[in-house]
Every structure is written in structure tokens, then in C-alpha cells.
Structure 1
Amino acid sequence: MAERKIIVTTIGELELPTGEIVACDPLITGLGRPAFSRKVRPGRYPVVLLEARGRVAAAVLCFGPGLPVRWELATFARDRPSAYEFEFIVDDAVASFMDKSVLTMMSDPEELDDYLADVACFRDRFVVDSPIDGNPLNIAMCDTGWGDGAYRSFWGLDGAGEPLLLMTDFEVLENADGRESNQGN
């Protein structure tokens, strides 16, 4: 990471009481904000940003120590087919991680959307914030690399297939896995 000049910043811990993770542009409504198909053990987990070239290159949720031995594309649980089974759309240059229960903690969906818009618009480059004072549920938001786009997330798994991390790639780094480029082929 030093060779690529990647800055690692822990921005806080995300509360996951159900273990169902939602990654989305918090300002896009009407898409149902689905959770990923894979669940993790409920708990509180660090959120880490990898920054390169002055931009957020990846957002990472860390579930355990060690390095992944394999990677798996994270898919969304959907009750109907969608063109976006493997990625989420960002239209406002901001992405978020949250527990699925955050989406139902406010009785009025418009109140939740207003809260998310307020936090997204008034954050610096990243923030971990709680919608309701005294409630541990929170949401992590950050800038998205080059801005708007369709972004994919990946599970970093240990030898037993258990998640060590969940990483959303904001496409700032080419060949982030260390492979040589095949330019000219």
C-alpha cells in the first residue's frame, strides 16, 4: 500500500444488530435499498476507508483479523429480478453502509430520507452518524472515488469461507489486486 500511496483511515464502527448490510447511495429513494444476500454475525465493526490520488478508493467493513484467501462478488437479496444484482447506483457522489434495520427505525420513510439527505449534504468526506440520539444504530457515509457510477462490493473470505471483510471498490485504482495490466493485448 505504501508503494501505491494508499492512506488507510478508520472512520468509526458500524452497528449491525441484524447482520444484514445495506450498501447504497443514501440519496436515491424508491429502489428498496436491498441488503446483501450474505449476512454477518451481529455486532459492531470498524469502517475503514482506503484513499488514493486524493479520493476514496474503497470503503471496507472489517469483521475479523487476517487476510482474505479468496474474494467473492457480493450480491443483493432481491424479491424481484433486477439489472443491479451485483452493483448499486450512485447518483450523488456519496455511498453508505448501514444495517437493514436502519431503514425501518423511523415510522415515516420521508423522515428517514430527509435525515439521510441532511447527513449526506453536510458531511465532510466521510461520517459515521446516528439517526436517533441514544440509539446505537448508525450509518457510515463517504465520498465515492470519481463520483457517480455503478459500484460493486466484494466479500474477502477466510479459508473456511467466512467473511473477514466487505469492500466496496470505487474504481480509483487500476489493477488493485496486483495483476500486471494487459495493455496492448
Structure 2
Amino acid sequence: MRNRIMRAARLVLCAAAAHVPVSASAGWDVSKASSNFELVTLGDDELSGRSINVIHMGNVELTSGRIVAADPLAQPDRPALARTVAPGEYPVTLYQAFGRIAAASMRFAEGRPDRWELAVLPGQDPATLKDDEIFGYPVDAGVGCYMDAQTLALIDERQAQVQAQKPGADINYYDDVLAADLDANKSIYALHRPVAGKKGNVAVFWSGWGDGFYPVFWGLDRDGHALVLLTDFGLIENADGRREPKLQ
């Protein structure tokens, strides 16, 4: 049985559009949902010149190629994104500004994206969005993640192991499992393996200033193949960490 605390924290926003300041013009345009796509095209030195620190986390193991981007504590069983990639191991990069994680990317192939599209769940259609709406995922525990959909079973397995060690206790996955991994990196990020010796891990990282609703985007080549996945936590504008955006 999955953690009662995590189930209680699930939000009804998981398949809905949230209202965020995207654009006041008619129609919906992905370029108005984020100004930070350039992050994935710049080198570490170039980003450093913009006061953005780059953290190369390591590889996430995608055993099925079905990617879950979510708050893993509030929505551990969030559906995978509709678009899939080939199973494999893919590097995750974090972009840090103002002491927080401004964005997170997962790279599938080299190259500069020719175009960007909003990452959606099955059944979501960006054409139905109004100009002040966007699809994304809700954060209620201050963290986001990338993992394979099959890794959820490993999280359940680890949960059961901890419960067996503490019979009758009310287990909290963050406190009882994840915190130890995060502590090794000042609680900012962790490449978490739920079950030792089993393939399938989770890239967990701070989500901007904390709880909120955040979009994910696919960077595609001219043939429509996925090159990169980017989560924008709304911390910076124009891929520049030298000045904090003004609050609207």
C-alpha cells in the first residue's frame, strides 16, 4: 500500500490546466510560456557568465522510456508524459541561480532544438488552452523529479521495506528515505535509487522557490525527434541569472 501521507498530498491539478501569466494576446504560443529555452544551448562557461551555476547530476535510467516529471512526494503515481523516448540512460543537468534550481533538463541527443513543444499527459491538448493557461505539474513538497514510470514500483518496494523495519510506524518517504540522499548535496538535489541493485533511479531537485505549478517542454529537432526535456521553475528570464525577474 502506498504511503497514506503521499496519497493525501495528491492534488486534483494533475490533469488540469492552471492559470499562470503566459500572454495577454489571443491564442496560445509555447514561446510565451518560457523565455529560458536557450539554457540548453549554452556551454557551462557561457552560463557562468550569466550567473547561472550548472550542476551535472548524472544519468537517469529509463527502463521503459516513459518519463514521469512530477513532485515525487505529492504525486508519486502521476501518469507518464505522452511522448516517449528509447529506453536508456540520459544525463540530467540543473541550472542554479539565486541559490535555487531555476530549471532542469534531460538530454537524449546532441544538437540545438529546432522547435519546442509543451510536454503533456495523455489526453491533454495544448490547442484547448487559453492564452493565460498552461499544462504542467503541481509541486506541494518543494521538489520536482525525472524518473521512468516503472520506477514507481521500486519506490513502493522501498516503502514496504522501510515499513517492515518499523512496523506500525507512520512512514514518510522524505524523512525516512530520501532525506539522507538529499543531505549529501545540501538538500538541493539527489540521484536517488529506491532499491539497491535494481535498475531505475530518480533525479530529485529543488523546484525554484518551492511549491507552485511548473511547465515541462520538449526540445525537438527538425524531424520531430526529442533532443531534450526542460522543466522551467520560473526563477529567471531569458536564460539569465544576473537579475531576478520582477513579480507581476
Name the CA shift for 1:109/1:120 in 2 (closer, same or farther; >3 Å): closer
What residue number does 1:52 align with? 97
Distance 1:46 1:110 in 2: 26
Out of 179, 199, 209, the residue aligned to residue 121 of structure 1 is 179
What residue number does 1:71 align with? 116
- Helix, strand or coil for the counterpart of 1:51? strand
1:107 Cα deviation (Å)? 5.8
1:175 Cα deviation (Å)? 3.3
What residue number does 1:159 align with? 222
- Helix, strand or coil for the counterpart of 1:105? helix
> Which amino acid in 1 is paired with 2:221?
D
- Helix, strand or coil for the counterpart of 2:111? coil
1:110 Cα deviation (Å)? 5.5
Distance 2:229 2:161 in 1: 25
Count of paired positions:
174
Aligned pair 1:136/2:206, yes or no?
no
Aligned pair 1:89/2:141, yes or no?
no
1:106 Cα deviation (Å)? 5.7
What residue number does 1:180 align with? none
Deviation string for 1:91-149 (max 9, x for gaps)? 11111111000112366696499584244434121000111111121011000111110
Name the CA shift for 1:125/1:134 in 2 (closer, same or farther; >3 Å): same
Point out the structure with the larger strand share.
1
TM-score calculated relative to the size of structure 1: 0.83
Distance 1:165 1:116 in 2: 29
Name the CA shift for 1:56/1:100 in 2 (closer, same or farther; >3 Å): same
Q: Is the 8 A contact 2:63 2:199 kept in 1?
A: no
Point out the structure with the larger helix share.
2
What residue number does 1:7 align with? 53
What residue number does 2:233 align with? 170
Q: Is the 8 A contact 1:74 1:154 kept in 2?
A: yes
Q: Mind listing any 5+ residue stretches in structure 2 that lack a counterpart?
A: 1-46, 163-170, 241-245
What residue number does 1:18 align with? 64
Flag as ranges the 4+ runs of structure 1 deviating above 6 A: none
Structure with bigger gyration radius:
2
